[in-house]
Amino acid sequence: MIFNGEDYYGAPGQVKYIEQNAGRFDDIALNINIDGAGYREGVSCFSPFGLPENIVTAFSQTLLDNPGIIEGAPWYQGDHSLFLQQGCPAIAVTSQWFIDNMETQQLTHTQKDNLSVVSYDRVAECAAGIEELVRKAG
């Protein structure tokens, strides 16, 4: 699911999703939010939130198998928060640089936020890690 407008007043994409899926959030096994992933500096981070035991095991094994991905600190400034508020487990996929510089950086949603700051290897690393995690949690 792709949302729009979380950075704008009223979060219209999130509000619409909640309206359309009221009473169905118990059907969601895991929300994976990819936001700020692939930055050219630092490592990739998977930040877990409220994972059930089978996904904790898959998460831990995925980190062991992928040394370029670490467990990230919790952060709530993303679409995964909508799911957390509805009681759903989530993983936020980002970069360590993004977590470390979220409050002070002058990059996100500016002209500097473009493909020149992206490491395609990091993007591929995140995609492979997500695929492995989902397969292991199966």
Q: What's the CATH class of domain 27-137?
A: alpha beta
- Read off the pTM: 0.85
Cα radius of gyration (the chain) = 15
Distance in angstroms (rounded) separating the CA atoms of residues 18 and 67: 36
Residue 113 has what DSSP assignment?
Answer: -
Digits of tens for pLDDT over the chain (138 positions)?
A: 566 555 556 677 788 888 888 899 999 999 999 988 998 888 999 999 999 999 999 999 999 999 999 999 998 888 888 899 999 999 999 998 887 876 666 766 677 777 888 899 999 999 999 999 999 998
Domain ranges of the chain: 27-137
Distance in angstroms (rounded) separating the CA atoms of residues 69 and 54: 19
Tens-digit pLDDT profile for residues 46-67: 999 999 999 999 999 999 999 9
Q: Which residue has the tokens 């009221």?
A: 22
Distance in angstroms (rounded) separating the CA atoms of residues 12 and 88: 20
Per the CB < 8 A criterion, the answer to whether 102 and 75 are in contact is yes
